[in-house]
Structure 1
Amino acid sequence: MALKATIYKAQIQLADMDRNIYGDHNVTIARHPSETDERMMIRLLAFALNVPADDHQGKLEFAKDLWDTDEPSLWQKDLTGQIVQWIDLGQPDDKRVMKSAPRAERMAVYSYTSSTPIWWSGIATKITRTSNVTVWQVPAEQSQQLATLAQRTMQLQVTVQDGTVWVGDGTQSIEITPQKLYG
């Protein structure tokens, strides 16, 4: 018998001063049985850092990347079905990046493990032909701290200022400084 996804709910109060985006977002996450708390929280972080100011070009949604390899972790589709944003997590190979990048207006990759520098050194020169890809590294220590905030029901405050992100749940706050590797 296959294991089913576990449902998590998060209420995110976002204050992104870098992009002048403020608002409350209620999200439901279907967590795949193989997904860790750390990866799920990185998905929430990627959501907060990429959510659009309005839904005129469609909503940013969680996709089924762990169930369907042709989908990203998150994506935003406009009303015609065209992909506006494609967001992958982890360390996709260069073939996946080169195949996915032309399908969307913008693509972002968020890597969050300590082996990111090794992965990046092997892929960096291969994706320089892309102009719409941005690659970010979330330091492994910070992503592991972020995982401690994971609960089935979460109320998170996310503040972004000068490239630094603070994620808190009312009892603790984690500081995250994503580093842009490319784009």
Structure 2
Amino acid sequence: MALKPTIYKFKIGLSDFDRDYYDNLNLTLAQHPSETLERMMVRLLAFCLNADPDLIFTKGLSSVEEADVWLKTLDEQTKLWIDVGEPSFERVKKATRISDKVKVYSFNTKSDVWWKQSSAKLSSLKAEFYQFNFEQISELVKLIDRSVSLSCSISANSIFVSSDTADCQIDYKVLD
């Protein structure tokens, strides 16, 4: 019998001061049985950083042919492909052929090693690479429940997330 995903519901008051984008999001995330809470929350942060009415979560780990998050046009053209983690050069290269824009959000404790080993090849691709601080992501995980309301403010490579019980700051940097 296959394990089923765990479902999380998020109500997010989003204020992205960098893009002048403000919205109230009602998001449902399915955590794949093999996905960590940290990875799921990075998918959520990547969604918030790129929020758009047409942005959607995909099947993620359940389908290797899809991004973690993407933006498609009405005629199914991929405008934005977002991957979370440390994808291979081949995966990012394929994404750049399929999509107008590609973004990768790295977050693991092994991110520095991955970037050091892969940056020469990856930098040749038309893609943007970002890195979150893993310890801060671990703090973010403490805020979640199966159903939670969050406030998310984005400004100058920093995301401030607060819930009814606590808050945390997550910094990210551009990898180049």
TM-score bracket for this pair, using the shorter chain length: over 0.9
Q: Residue 78 of structure 2 aligns with which residue?
A: 83
Give the residue type in structure 1 aligned to 2:143: L
Aligned residue pair count:
176
8 Å contact kept, 1:6–1:30 = yes
CA RMSD of aligned residues (A): 1.0
DSSP 3-state at the match of 1:24 = strand
Q: Offset of 1:117 from its aligned partner?
A: 1.0
8 Å contact kept, 2:32–2:61 = yes
In 2, distance between residues paired with 1:8 and 1:78? 27
Identity of aligned residues (%): 38
Q: Residue 8 of structure 1 aligns with which residue?
A: 8
Deviations 1:129-152 (A, max 9, x none): 322x11110011111111111211
Q: Offset of 1:40 from its aligned partner?
A: 1.0
Unaligned runs of 5+ in 1: none
In 2, distance between residues paired with 1:83 and 1:149? 32
8 Å contact kept, 1:37–1:150 = no
In 2, distance between residues paired with 1:106 and 1:156? 28
Deviations 1:43-98 (A, max 9, x none): 1111100112xx4xxx1111112111011110110111000111101111111111
- Written as runs of structure 1 = structure 2, the 5 A alignment for 1:152-167 is 152-167=146-161
Larger displacement relative to structure 2 (120-129 or 17-26) = 120-129
* One of 55, 61, 67 as aligned partner of 1:66: 61
In 1, distance between residues paired with 2:120 and 2:36? 30
- Written as runs of structure 1 = structure 2, the 5 A alignment for 1:1-183 is 1-52=1-52, 55=53, 59-131=54-126, 133-182=127-176
8 Å contact kept, 2:6–2:32 = yes
Q: Offset of 1:128 from its aligned partner?
A: 2.5
In 1, distance between residues paired with 2:40 and 2:111? 18
TM-score norm. by structure 2 comes to 0.96
Deviations 1:93-132 (A, max 9, x none): 111111111211111111111111110011111123322x
8 Å contact kept, 2:13–2:24 = yes
TM-score norm. by structure 1 comes to 0.93
